Structures are given as structure tokens and as C-alpha cells.
């Protein structure tokens, strides 16, 4: 029987935990045909960064931002309303409306899941947007879930959580919570009877190339170097987007993608006409009670073909003055961002320039942490730090202006953020790198690198190719200039 826990007077939450009897891939496959399925996928089973995965479907509410238009969708009533209300105050109000304390001791028990696109930064920093939104992606897409499945990879347990939201009446809410819990029980029961299918073969059409030519990318790097020489900025993150025809199932691609390149902040999201698939290694923002941290990545090397070559590349990354200089600038930027919302004197760097190794690359990573000022909300923390400094540059605002000038198309979800916002106020959001978008039978993915004073344009181009390797290996081919 489920455990029923009374929370905040008349707000009932029902939780059931069972042994993990099926692979998470099989469990999530049972949710794919439901509306707006999501999987926040900690594919590495990393105790610190990837202990829990969360999945669900069938949200009760949605909040979508497109430029100056904000759309709210009441999924239970089937109503949709467009307005010009600013996105962030509206989000703050919704989180306050359904605010609740956690009861099961899990990082995420109910709340919003989705993405903040890079261009949402235009609602924080007021400078003109000139890039083209050719994929027609919303600037933000959040779905609010009252019931979900949490998987504890360390303890090998599955938690079924149902809150009964958004119903206010105590009896009706208890009934809804029980009905939704029964649905989750059926999902996991079916998953226990289905074997994990073989990884599918993928069939791709023609490559559509990049939104930059090889020469165009080098020219953009040269312009950034001129801005650096003029004293405008210290560094800018420049990116390019690739595309390939793919008429298959995005789910089949994601299964293959996560298998070849597991990461602690993976995600599969359905957002109307776009399917978003991420295998990000980078945390943008974690909030737990009054603790906040960000873990910027700056500095990358490919994995070596053997242990000796791999160790040499790892040591090369650690000793690279260029990577160290770039990394320190971003850490300072992140300290400044957190300082805006932190209690005085609490910003610190518990980890500085450590190397984390993944299937295809080594990354240089630091952790910047603080204690949140009691007067600041979760949304305040996002507004004062978005987008993450590791994917913009320093100073952040001028870097964003230059990115808008030089990149021909909107980034969309790329270098934005994907994750959850719990109704308790806790959040965990990634930096959406190593992320693909499926739209109109085409897969899009974007890669970038930090440009500093001593950057070599050709080497910067090659770095973007190195970062794309995990994606390109999934396709079984590699782009060339």
C-alpha cells in the first residue's frame, strides 16, 4: 500500500517505493505515448551528481514564453491564454501558488520541468535581438507535474510520488493523488514485464551543414579577437550549429546517444513541435534550502586512444595557460553572479580546476557556492545568473551582445538550461550543451568554444569539432571544413 503523508494541513501527498525491477529506459518507454513526457536522466549513476533520475508525463499546467508573449495552459481545463505579462514574475507567482514543503527527502517531488532557452536572457538584459529564430523554438517551455517517478540509482529504488495538485479541496485532492499514483503503479508494473529492446539502427538523410561556413566561423573569431584587442571584452563563447535529416524516432536516437555518451545531467523533453535531447555534463544552478552552487566547465581535451595518450591529454589540459586563464575569468564571473543573491561573505570556491573525464572528452571544472540571502526567491537566483557565464563570456552583457551580432541564428535551448524547479523552492538545472533538437524530421546540434586573446581561429574551429564528436559518432560520421 502507498504511504500517505499529510502535508500543510489539507494537502495530501502519496508516496510508494519499490525495488528497481526494470531498466529506466524501459520504464520511460511506457510514458512516451502520454502527453509531454520528460526524463531528467542521470545516466552516469554518479553518487554526487547523478544519484537520482526523474521521469513523468501528463502535466496539469504549462508556462511558455515567446518574445514578449507569455502563454499559460491549464491542461486539466483545456484552456490556453496569451498575454504580455513578463515571464519571470509569472513563474515566481506560479511557484508561490503551489509552494509546498518536501516530505520524502527526495531532491524533486513535484514542480516544473522544462527548459530556459538562451534567448530568454533578452528578458533580463535589455539589448536588441537580431538573430533569426528559424527553428521557431519558444524562449522557455515549462510543464508543471503533480506526479512523477524518482529513481535512486544508489539504493536501486523507485519512488512513485503523487501530490493531487492542483486540486485544493482536501477530499478531491486525496482522490486525485490516489488515481495518479495508480497510474504510475501501472506504468512500472508494465515495465517489469518488458525486456529492454536492442539499440536500434539509425538511418539518416543528407547533412544540411552548419549555420556557419568554415571561413565564416574563422572570420567571426577574428572579429572577437579585434574586440578583445580594443578592450571591449576578455572572452566570448562562439558556437556553430549542425543539422542532419532524420525521419526516425527521436527516442531511438536518444537511447543511442545516452548509451555512447552518458552524463549526469541528461534529459529527454517533449515541447510541442520540438523534442529536446541532452547529455550535458555541466550544472548551471543547484538550490537546496538556502545553499546554491554552480559548476562551470571551461577547458576541454579529447580522450586518448590508449591510457598513455589519455593521461598526456589530461595533463595537457591541467597545464594549459590558455585554458587556466579562460577558466579563472569564468569562475570570477560566476562568483560575481552568485554574490548578487548571496548572504554577505558566503561565496566560496570549494573545487577549483579539477578534471572530470567523460566518454569522449576531459573537462576542466570548478564549483562556486554560496548561501542565499533570505530576501531572495528561487526566481531571483535565476534572473541574477542566467544564462550561465561559461557559455557567454566576460563581461557577460557585452559578450552576449557580440554573440547576437556574430551568430546568424538563435541558440534556442542550446546554452540555455534544462531541469526541474521543485515547489519547495529547490532546483537543479543543467547548462544545455551536448544537446540535440528534433524538429520537422531534422536533428540540430550546436557546439562552441571560448575565444580569448591568444586564440587561434583554426584551433578554435577544431575545438568545436572535438566537442561535437560524441554526437557525430552517434551518426557514424564526422564533419570536415
Domain locations in the chain as residue ranges: 14-204+241-281+409-441
Q: Per-residue pLDDT tens for 185-198?
A: 999 999 988 888 88
Q: Is 50 exposed, middle or buried (0-12, 13-18, 19+ CB in 10 A)?
A: buried
- What is the residue-averaged pLDDT of the chain? 91
Helices 214-229 and 396-406, axial angle in degrees (round to 10) = 150
Q: Which residues of 328-350 are buried (b: 16+ CB within 10 A; e: fewer)?
A: ebbbebbbbbbeebbeeebbeee
Residues 6+ apart with CB under 8 A from 46: 264
The percentage of residues in the chain with a pLDDT greater than 70, rounded to a whole number, is 94
Give yes or no for residue 3 having a pLDDT over 60: no
State residue 280 phi and psi, 5-degree precision: -80, 140
Give yes or no for residue 4 having a pLDDT over 90: no
Mean pLDDT for 305-333 is 93
Q: 1-5, 28-32, 164-168 — which is least confidently predicted?
A: 1-5
**Does domain 14-204+241-281+409-441 bear CATH number 2.40.50.140?**
no
Confidence of residue 474 (pLDDT cuts 50, 70, 90): low
The percentage of residues in the chain with a pLDDT greater than 90, rounded to a whole number, is 74
Give yes or no for residue 199 having a pLDDT over 90: no
Give yes or no for residue 9 having a pLDDT over 80: no
Mean pLDDT for 317-345 is 94
* Residues with catalytic roles: 282, 298
Q: Per-residue pLDDT tens for 422-440?
A: 999 999 999 999 999 999 9
Q: Per-residue pLDDT tens for 220-238?
A: 999 999 999 999 999 999 9
Amino acid at each position: 500500500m502507498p504511504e500517505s503523508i499529510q502535508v500543510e494541513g489539507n494537502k495530501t501527498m502519496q508516496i510508494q517505493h519499490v525495488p528497481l525491477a526494470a531498466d529506466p529506459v524501459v520504464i520511460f518507454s511506457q510514458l512516451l505515448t502520454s502527453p509531454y513526457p520528460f526524463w531528467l536522466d542521470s545516466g552516469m549513476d554518479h553518487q554526487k551528481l547523478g544519484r537520482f533520475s526523474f521521469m513523468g508525463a501528463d502535466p496539469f499546467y504549462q508556462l511558455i514564453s515567446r518574445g514578449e508573449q507569455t502563454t499559460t495552459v491549464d491542461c486539466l481545463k483545456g484552456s490556453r491564454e496569451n498575454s504580455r505579462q513578463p515571464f519571470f514574475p509569472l513563474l515566481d507567482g506560479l511557484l508561490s501558488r503551489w509552494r509546498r514543503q518536501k516530505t520524502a527527502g527526495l531532491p524533486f517531488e513535484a514542480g516544473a520541468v522544462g527548459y530556459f532557452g538562451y534567448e530568454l536572457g533578452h528578458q533580463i538584459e535589455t539589448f536588441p535581438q537580431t538573430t533569426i529564430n528559424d527553428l521557431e523554438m519558444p524562449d522557455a517551455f515549462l510543464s508543471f507535474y503533480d506526479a512523477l517517478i524518482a529513481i535512486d540509482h544508489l539504493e536501486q529504488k523507485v519512488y512513485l510520488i503523487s501530490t493531487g495538485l492542483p486540486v485544493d479541496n482536501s477530499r478531491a485532492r486525496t482522490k486525485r493523488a490516489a488515481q495518479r499514483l495508480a497510474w504510475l503503479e501501472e506504468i512500472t508494473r508494465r515495465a517489469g514485464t518488458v525486456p529492454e529492446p536492442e539499440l536500434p539502427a539509425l538511418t539518416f538523410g543528407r547533412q544540411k551543414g552548419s549555420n556557419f561556413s568554415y571561413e565564416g566561423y574563422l572570420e567571426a573569431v577574428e572579429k572577437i579577437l579585434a574586440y578583445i584587442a580594443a578592450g571591449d571584452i576578455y572572452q566570448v563563447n562562439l558556437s556553430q550549429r549542425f543539422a542532419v535529416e532524420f525521419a526516425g524516432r527521436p527516442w531511438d536516437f536518444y537511447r543511442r546517444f545516452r548509451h555512447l555518451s552518458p552524463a549526469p545531467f541528461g534529459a529527454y523533453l517533449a515541447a510541442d513541435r520540438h523534442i529536446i535531447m541532452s547529455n550535458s555534463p555541466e550544472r548551471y544552478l543547484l538550490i537546496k534550502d538556502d545553499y546554491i552552487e554552480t559548476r562551470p566547465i571551461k577547458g576541454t581535451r579529447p580522450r586518448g586512444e590508449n591510457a598513455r595518450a589519455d593521461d598526456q591529454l589530461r595533463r595537457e589540459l591541467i597545464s594549459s595557460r590558455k585554458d587556466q586563464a579562460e577558466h579563472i575569468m569564468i569562475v570570477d564571473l560566476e562568483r560575481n553572479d552568485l554574490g548578487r543573491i548571496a548572504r554577505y561573505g558566503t561565496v566560496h570556491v570549494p573545487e577549483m580546476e579539477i578534471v572530470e573525464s567523460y566518454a569522449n572528452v576531459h573537462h576542466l571544472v570548478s564549483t562556486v557556492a554560496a548561501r542565499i540571502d533570505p530576501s531572495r526567491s528561487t526566481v531571483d537566483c535565476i534572473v541574477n545568473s542566467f544564462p550561465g557565464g561559461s557559455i557567454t563570456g566576460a563581461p557577460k552583457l557585452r559578450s552576449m551582445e557580440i554573440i547576437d551580432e556574430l551568430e546568424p541564428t538563435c541558440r534556442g535551448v542550446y546554452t540555455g538550461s534544462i531541469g526541474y524547479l521543485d515547489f519547495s523552492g529547490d532546483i537543479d538545472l543543467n547548462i544545455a550543451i551536448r544537446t540535440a533538437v528534433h524538429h520537422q524530421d531534422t536533428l540540430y546540434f550546436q557546439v562552441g568554444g571560448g575565444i580569448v586573446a591568444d586564440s587561434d581561429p583554426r584551433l578554435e574551429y577544431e575545438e568545436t569539432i572535438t566537442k561535437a564528436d560524441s554526437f557525430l559518432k552517434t551518426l557514424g560520421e564526422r564533419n570536415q571544413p
